[in-house]
């Protein structure tokens, strides 16, 4: 699932797509996928496209947050949680640092 999420985000020109393997750190999920959008419009487009493409694969998100403000959209697919940030907010919250015990890979 994580490979498909990354593929779909890259197709829509997401910036700096990172995958954190957090499976050994928490039971929240196996992976965090973190990426940036260049504007609120781009962030919504990334979230919309991901939602459509994942549904085509039979995967519906369990929870969605932040879509209306589109500064930090979270899509929870159970084993994979996707964080789509505005570039400034991503730098501020720095999830990669907060979850640094996970294994980071740039996709």
From first to last of its 107 residues, the chain has per-residue pLDDT tens of 999 999 999 999 999 999 999 888 888 899 999 999 999 999 999 999 999 999 999 999 999 999 999 999 999 999 999 999 998 898 888 887 767 665 655 55
Any domain includes 106: no
User: What is the radius of gyration, based on Cα positions, of the chain?
Assistant: 12
Any domain includes 38: yes
Any domain includes 74: yes
Any domain includes 83: yes
- Per the structure, the complete domain to which residue 13 belongs is given by 2-101
Distance (Å, whole) CA 67 – CA 74: 8
CB atoms within 10 A of CB 26: 12
Any domain includes 31: yes
Residue-level pLDDT at 94 = 86
Any domain includes 73: yes
CATH of the domain at 84: 3.30.460.10
Residue-level pLDDT at 95 = 81
Any domain includes 107: no
Any domain includes 54: yes
Q: How many domains does the chain have?
A: 1
Distance (Å, whole) CA 8 – CA 14: 9
């Amino acid at each position: 699932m994580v490979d498909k999420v990354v593929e779909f985000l890259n197709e829509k020109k997401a910036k700096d797509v990172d995958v954190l393997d957090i499976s050994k750190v928490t039971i929240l999920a196996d992976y965090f996928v973190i990426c940036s959008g260049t504007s609120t419009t781009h962030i919504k487009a990334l979230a919309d496209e991901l939602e459509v493409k994942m549904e085509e694969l039979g995967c519906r998100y369990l929870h969605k947050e932040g879509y209306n403000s589109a500064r930090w959209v979270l899509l929870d697919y159970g084993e994979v949680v996707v964080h789509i940030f505005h570039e400034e907010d991503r730098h501020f919250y720095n999830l990669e640092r907060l979850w640094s015990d996970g294994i980071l890979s740039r996709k």
